[in-house]
Amino acid sequence: MTEIASRFADANGVRTHYLEAGDGEPLVLVHGGGAGADSWGNWKDCIPLLARKFRVIAPDMIGFGKTDKPAPESYVYDQPGRNRHMADFLDAMGLSGAAYVGNSMGGATGIGIAVDRPDLISRMVLMGSAGLPIPPKPSPDLLHNLKYDFTMEGMRRVIGGLTAPGFEPTPEMVKYRYDLVDAPEAQAALAAINAETRKGTLNYAEEVVASIKQPVLVVNGKQDGVSILPRAYKFLELIENSWGYIVPHCGHWAMIEAREDFCAAVESFLERTAA
């Protein structure tokens, strides 16, 4: 059994929760921005697989999980803010030159760090990543999240929009994610995050994405209705040192819907691109 430790770090004044397991080269896993997302819900089944060869560190982004949730009146929950927080976390943990895996909003955060602080990320996996305005408006699948109504049935709709047809969440998954956004401060943070997402602050100009020089693996579910295949293809077109891996019968959550396939692809990429 892999021991997964739950710890906290001070990221420039933000009390940041993270999970840690294994040893070896640091591998940072960053979750997406859906209602009820956090490091445990996204990565608990991948961590034991990846921790066989890597020191896996999975933080909760600001506003999510057990990490601080500043009041929206005093903090702007936009993508530049997430980039700063995660860079501060990597600095606090002494993780210069780490390998980085980001799902959705976590991918957009990795893009920002790779461009602004290239010293912190040696190579990167973008899985169902945000970061480009494709499609130009939120898809119907994403709207389940942007319009989340803080009910159990609403959470089931969120999960349905993030997964391929036929995926059946367990009652425990639904309740876990529902409970994470049940507190008033979590609801206020999510509302502020979704408001900024509607403004398009998750997106970068194409020339910014094209400036990434690190090796990048672009992973996408073939049936992802949130980060659709044309976005994955655009990342591959723009990023010079990029590989692509498309997962069949899979939506936005390759780390959950196709765990072993996804982890094997990540491990192979990291071994191939090791310095």
Give the model confidence (pLDDT) of 86-100 as tens digits: 999 999 999 999 999
**Separation of alpha carbons 26 and 49, rounded Å:** 14
Which is it for strands 5-11 and 14-21: parallel, antiparallel or unpaired?
antiparallel
> What residue type is assigned to position 153 of the chain?
E
Among residues 17, 85, 144, 252, which one is catalytic? 252
What is the domain extent for residue 81? 5-272
Q: Which of 39, 68, 85, 104 is catalytic?
A: 104
Check: CB of residue 226 under 8 Å from CB of residue 202.
no
Rounded CA gap, 93 and 108, in Å? 21
CATH number for the domain spanning 182: value is 3.40.50.1820
CA–CA dist 153, 130 (Å, integer): 25
Q: Can you read off the two tokens belonging to residue 161?
A: 């929009």
Per-residue pLDDT of the chain (275 residues; tens, 9 = 90+): 789 999 999 999 999 999 999 999 999 999 999 999 999 999 999 999 999 999 999 999 999 999 999 999 999 999 999 999 999 999 999 999 999 999 999 999 999 999 999 999 999 999 999 999 999 888 899 999 999 999 999 999 999 999 999 999 999 999 999 999 999 999 999 999 999 999 988 999 999 999 999 999 999 999 999 999 999 999 999 999 999 999 999 999 999 999 999 999 999 999 999 87
For the chain, what is the domain count? 1
Give the per-residue pLDDT at 138: 86
* 252 flagged as catalytic: yes
Catalytic entry in 88, 224, 227, 242: 224
Q: What is the pTM of this model?
A: 0.97
Question: If you ran DSSP here, which 8-state letter would residue 60 be given?
Answer: P
The dihedral formed by the CA atoms of 103, 55, 79 and 123, expressed in degrees to the nearest 10 = -80
Q: Three-state SS for 197?
A: helix
